[in-house]
Amino acid sequence: MSIVDAKEMLLKATEEKYAVGAFNITNLIQMEAVVEAAVNKRAPLIIQTSVTPSKFLAPKVLVAIYKTLAESAPIPICLHLDHCIDVEYCKQCADAGYTNIMIDASKQVFKENIRQTKQVCDYCHGIGSISVEGELGTVSGVEDQVKVAEDEASLCDPKQALEFVDQTGIDIFAPAIGTAHGVYKTKNPKLDFNRLKEISELINGDEPKVPLVIHGGTGLQPDVVKKLVSLGGSKFNVSTELKHTLIDTTHDYISSHRDEYNPGKIDAAVKEGIINGIYYWIDILGCAGKA
């Protein structure tokens, strides 16, 4: 039951109005931590890697570790490639065994975004049930190789969203609604809830068809997260927070144990920090007990 199709996992979430946490990891300790937290909460899980850590660790190595952890876990778990702007690398990761691929051609003009996204969909659907995520509009901030300045960001046009979904054949859709990658500059960033509602009704109004993704989870207030989920967000991406936990916990541990040379203890501290962070997300996303 553990290695599954993301679309099925997220259609269930859309129908039952909860969201699945999609957590970006950069190393083995983080991957083990997110799996352990999700197993303890009996929550479905999406593990994500951005392109740089994917290339650094190698897709086949990541897939081997993912499969080893997922096969013995009593919950469904997917492995997702996040924000890839290169069609060929999307195909390489699909071949290696990632179960979801995000082609991010959102900086391209509409027609080119459709062309590249469809190319990845055709490839992934042709080699098996690999789900593909596409994005329309642009999410501001920095996510690995994708950088969008605030004044460059554009929100998703609901009518174009329908056309994009129909013409590409995507399984999962990320509409830009004002969330941002990285740390928010204000406590209450300006989000377009009505736009999300409209897109959700247009695409999934009659029955759930293409689950919606919310990017830029780090720093959003819990009531905002819950509102985004109630309006139809069923995959919720969190990345920056895990990087901060990894670096801050390592720094704090070493600062207070400067004479100790025991890497395992640093790893244990990082793992504990990540697990506690994931418990928080699983609780506010409402996916505890849904596996």
Residues that bind ligand 13P (CB under 6 A): 24, 82-83, 143, 181-182, 215-218, 237-241
Dump the DSSP string for 168-209.
H--SEEEE--S-BSS--SSSS----HHHHHHHHHHHHSSS--
Read off φ and ψ for residue 145, nearest 5 degrees.
Answer: -85, -5
Q: Measured from the CB atom, is 14 or 26 closer to ligand 13P?
A: 26
Q: Measured from the CB atom, is 181 or 271 closer to ligand 13P?
A: 181
> Two tokens at 97?
């065994």
In the residue annotation, 82 being an active-site residue is answered as: yes
Contact 201, 175 (CB under 8 A): no
> Two tokens at 148?
């969008």
How is the chain split among helix, strand and coil, in percent rounded to 5? Answer: 50, 15, 30
Least Cβ distance, residue 50 to ligand 13P (angstroms): 7
Read off φ and ψ for residue 17, nearest 5 degrees.
Answer: 60, 45
Q: Measured from the CB atom, is 30 or 218 closer to ligand 13P?
A: 218
Q: Measured from the CB atom, is 30 or 237 closer to ligand 13P?
A: 237
Nearest to 212 by CA among 249, 263, 256, 161: 161
> Two tokens at 262?
């025991």
Q: Measured from the CB atom, is 68 or 139 closer to ligand 13P?
A: 139
Least Cβ distance, residue 257 to ligand 13P (angstroms): 29
* 3-class secondary-structure state, position 46: strand
Q: Residues near 4 by Cβ (< 8 Å), separated by ≥ 6?
A: 76, 77, 78, 99
Least Cβ distance, residue 23 to ligand 13P (angstroms): 9
Query: Annotated active-site positions, please?
Result: 82
